[in-house]
Structure 1
Amino acid sequence: MPRKADSRRSQTARSGSSSHHVVNVEMTDGSSAGSVDGIGFCIFRVPQSLSEINQMAYQPNTVPIGPYHHGKPQFQKIQEHKQRFSIDLLNRTKQKRDKLKHFAEALKPTEEKIRKCYSEALAFKSDELIEMMVLDGSFIIELFCKYYRKLAGHTDPGHDPLLTEPWVLPFLMRDLAKLENQIPWFVLQHLFDLTLGSWNESHPSLSDLALSFFNRMVQRPDNDLKKYSDWEGEHLLNFLRLTNNPDSPETKQKPNKFLRLIQPANKLHQAGIKFKPTHCASFMDIKFSNGVLEIPVLKFDDFLSCLFLNFVAFEQCHRASSKHVTAYATFMACLLNTPADAGLLCDRKIIERYFGTDEKIAHFFSNIGKDVVFDIHKNYLCQVFQDVNTYNEKDWRVHWASFKNTYFNSRWSLISAVAAFLLLALAAIQSFFAVRTYYQPQSSPNPSSPNHQ
């Protein structure tokens, strides 16, 4: 079941209730990490093996959130915007400015819980940490509110530069969805309840505001988003991951010769497997039936590629998390082995390329699988891996398709094949008559012939 507002601590049931052996993160006291209630790690430093591939995908470019990148000199200007947004949030709720002190007092009892959400010890003093949580949390909530009002047609006084400058919002959205740039969801929810919790039911929830904000980049239909109105995550990144996960559960399959990684897209195409684009609530909802591989359309751009990397990093670090994105990334890495494979999926309208080339897409999926632990026997695509391989090796149509693609894939190869067939047929006919002439018995002489004595 999904993690909902009336049961805010049931997240591990949605993301995978049983522990997965991909990565075994341990607490500093030696106990295993678990859910926030455990209380366990959910905000991690990205492992060096992953960050070396694309370091900028995990570190903030515009706004630091939380303790990992706090205080860096390049972010001094954005701190002024955070202060301004916090004041705007208080003004929106008709609170006095000293109410920020009240927020700090309200969060103070959760300090230990906050610290245990981070995978490394935090050197900040108590007051510094709580003040950081209040400032960053208030900034995020007010940013969501301003953007929501902008979508609704309202204009905030002053035309806020963080919302009106076209280049700023995409950077903010990417930064707020990075693993090292998170604060716990319960901090956001607590501040939201203190500031906007008095809104009536016709107003959006924190989840609604978050989905509306990020939907500029992922562009999902409103009807698909409504079912997540009361969902939560351990932080914003995990919330986005949960709302993009397919409904298919992780299953465990016994080892067999067909349960292995699949061939690249072009080889599957030559074997007669068809690729069909679909539009689903989740871009990971892959199906295979009767030789047709149905893959939801993937809008490949800077935001989605960054989101992928951070989803995978989170799943690799969080022991209790499901590994849906890791399985999807591995599946796509199998398909997109070369630029030609990427070109095939682009031609089939499965990948909508918003930046880069076929080479860049293939390179991205090739890299995303490096140094990532993946269990082929336990993932939500187990059956798809197995069915594709079974079809690829056993079905007679595969052999016919392979023959067809080898000899009839172009006009000239067709002409060559027909010519070769005609030559072979003529040679066979010639051989037949030669053999027939050789073995045919000669006619016996006629006794009545005058030459017969």
Structure 2
Amino acid sequence: MESNTPDPNQTQTQTQTQTQSSDHDHHAINMVTIDDTHLAAIHQKINTPPKILSKAAGRATCSIFKVPKSFNDVNGKLYQPQIISIGPFHHGLPHVQMMEEHKYCYLGNLLARTNLSLSELFSAVAPLVGAARECYSESIELDDQVFLEMLVVDGCFIIEMFRKAAKLVGFESDDPIASMSWIFPALLRDLHRLENQIPFSVLQCLYDLTCGKDSSGSFTLATLSLEFFNFTIQRPNDIIWKYKDLQPKHLLDLLRSSFIIPELDPENSSKEKAAPQHVIHSVSKLRQAGIHLRPGKSETFLGIKFKRGVIEMPKVTMDDFMSSLLANCVTYEQCHNGHSTYFTTYATFVDCLVNSAKDVEYLCDKNIIENYFGTEAEIATFINNLGKEVAFDIDHCYLAKLFNDVNAYHRSTWHVYLATLKYTYFSTPWSFISVVAASVLLVLTVLQTYYTVLPYYKPSD
């Protein structure tokens, strides 16, 4: 007789099957579906070109960038205009409205002096609007008329400012830009910031149109621009006039290019691959290995050399302007497609040299850094921040051979031994006196011991 008692294992299996089936039916019933409206919205996003970082940003024609957040987090104040907005990125912001009013005053002065009309200025720049938009890394939301007005007003202000600063055109007697001493240094800094640029082609167009109405015909736009920034950089005129025919992307690119000389020889330098284990040691460690630093002779602070255990670095003046210029040039090189990396290489090199305020103090004592920036600790912090978040290829940079040569010299045992001996025992007069005194005491002790022991081995007759 068969038992009707259910098999427990069979019952459990059936229960699991029913549960799985129930779960499957539950998911089937509650499956999420996307309606046609949502699908259409997704298709619209697919077909909408990026605006915050447009496709133009990846092209060589794009040269004016919004500074990446990672750089802003480190050196934010060095990228933001303080009193004047040039170009669309900071256009209309409240803190730049004071200078916005003066732009139109300068435009009026230019029109009165040259007898040009507004329509002539606008007609000359209008064909450049499309190409100018392509120079910016973000889509510009201004319509063409507002964008054109901004280019003309900003461009005319810059050219008039340069002419007034060069004394080709006189300042108005009550012009606060000339009479208030704090404004001019702020303009020097604001006009070279990466986010605060308009294309140089627009400036060139306006300069050519308004040239000949004064004595500015003796200048090119490049030399007139460099003369303006020379109020703080203070380079000889013969260096400035070497770049009279330069056609850069914008004013920041002009300044950057004027520090890059043929003697840096990027093609030959890039063939040399640097040592893979490290970039370079700090000043303190280099000195312990017998490597010293001294001021070099070059028309650019980028012209660093190494020979016979000495790194030669041309003097650089560290102040508010130079710190801003270095930061903006490094960021420009990081953003621009296919750009050379001279400033990035320099920033990385100096960042490696400086680990502490003592390293900066040594560079100041050697007249390599002229400090108008702050304390040695503040300079050290700035230099270390300058090298943060930077993409750097040591194998392809203009200092690759120098990195190799310094590292090879540092690895030389006898150099390190002699330098350590000198650094430890002869670095100061007091340590030298201590070594001499200890040596004399040792000699006297040996002699005393010798003459004390000698009678026991050679008794007198």
Q: Distance in 1 between matches of 2:287 and 2:261?
A: 25
Q: Distance in 2 between matches of 1:242 and 1:191?
A: 22
Q: How far has the Cα of 1:360 moved from its partner?
A: 0.8
SS in 2 for 1:53: helix
Of stretches 190-199 and 122-131 in structure 1, the one that deviates more from structure 2 is 190-199
Superposition pairs of residues 325-404 of structure 1, within 5 angstroms: 325-394=343-412, 396-404=414-422
- Considering fraction of residues, name the structure with more helix: 2
What is the number of residues matched between the two proteins?
406
1:338-394 alpha-carbon deviations (Å, 9 max, x no partner): 100000011111111113011011111000001011111111111111111111222
Which residue number corresponds to residue 63 of structure 2? 42
> Are 1:54 and 2:75 counterparts?
yes
Residues 67-216 of structure 1 mapped to structure 2, 5 A cutoff? 67-95=88-116, 99-149=117-167, 155-196=170-211, 203-216=218-231
Letter paired with 1:161: P
Q: Would the alpha carbon gap of residues 27 and 68 (structure 1) be closer, same or farther in structure 2, given more than 3 Å must change?
A: closer
SS of 2:173's partner is coil
Q: Is residue 252–residue 382 contact of structure 1 (8 Å, CA) maintained in 2?
A: yes
TM-score w.r.t. the length of structure 2 is 0.81
User: How far has the Cα of 1:131 moved from its partner?
Assistant: 0.8
Contact 2:274 2:394 in 1 (8 A): no
Q: Indicate which of 282, 301, 306 corresponds to 1:264.
A: 282
* Structure showing greater relative contact order (alpha-carbon pairs closer than 8 Å, 6 or more residues apart): 1
2:412 and 2:257 map into 1 onto residues whose CA distance is 37
Whether 2:252 is the aligned partner of 1:237: answer: yes
Please say if residues 53 and 138 of structure 2, whose CA atoms lie closer than 8 Å, have aligned partners that are also in contact.
no
Alignment correspondent of 2:38: none
- Between the aligned partners of 2:104 and 2:337, the Cα distance in structure 1 is 36
Correspondent of 1:285 among 298, 303, 316: 303
The 1:434/1:60 distance shift into structure 2, 3 A limit, reads same
Query: What secondary structure sits across from 2:436 in the alignment?
Result: helix
Amino acid paired to 2:102: H
Instruction: Find the partner of 1:417 among 416, 432, 435.
Output: 435
Identity fraction in percent: 41
Structure 1 SS opposite 2:392: coil
Partners of 2:249 and 2:214 in 1: CA distance? 24
Q: Distance in 2 between matches of 1:114 and 1:354?
A: 37
Write the distance in 1 (CA, Å) between the matches of 2:435 and 2:276. 34
| Structure 2 partner of 1:274 | 292
**How far has the Cα of 1:423 moved from its partner?**
5.2
* Deviation, structure 1 residue 275: 1.9
Shift in alpha-carbon separation, 1:437–1:374, aligned structure 2, 3 A = farther
- CA drift of 1:255 comes to 4.7
SS in structure 2 of the partner of residue 378 of structure 1: coil
Paired position in structure 1 for 2:58: 33
Paired amino acid for 1:33: G
* 1:93 partner letter: T
**Structure 2 letter corresponding to 1:266:** S
Specify the SS of the correspondent of 2:313: strand
8 Å contact kept, 2:274–2:403? no
Q: 1:168 Cα shift?
A: 0.6
CA contact (8 A) 2:65 2:335 kept: yes
CA contact (8 A) 1:336 1:365 kept: yes
Tell which deviates more after alignment, 356-365 or 392-401: 392-401
Alignment partner, residue 445 of structure 1: none
Stretches of structure 1 lacking an aligned partner (at least 5 in a row): 1-25, 443-453
Q: CA, structure 1 residues 277+386, in 2 after alignment: closer, same or farther (shift >3 Å)?
A: same
Question: 1:66 aligned to 69, 87, 91, which one?
Answer: 87
Q: Cα deviations across residues 210-265 of structure 1 (Å, max 9, x unaligned)?
A: 01100001110111111111112101001100001243133334656477311111
Which region of structure 1 is more displaced relative to structure 2, 412-421 or 165-174? 412-421
Structure with larger Rg: 2
When normalised by structure 1's length, the TM-score is: 0.83
Cross-structure match for 2:313 = 295
> Does the 8 Å CA contact 1:100/1:134 hold for their aligned counterparts?
no
Amino acid paired to 1:113: A
- Of residues 207, 217, 232, the one that matches 1:217 is 232
Deviations for 1:9-43, whole angstroms, at most 9, x for unmatched residues? xxxxxxxxxxxxxxxxx9845x883433xxxx100
CA distance in 1, matches of 2:233, 2:281: 29
Q: Taking structure 1 as reference, are residues 254 and 286 closer, same or farther at Cα in structure 2, changes over 3 Å only?
A: closer
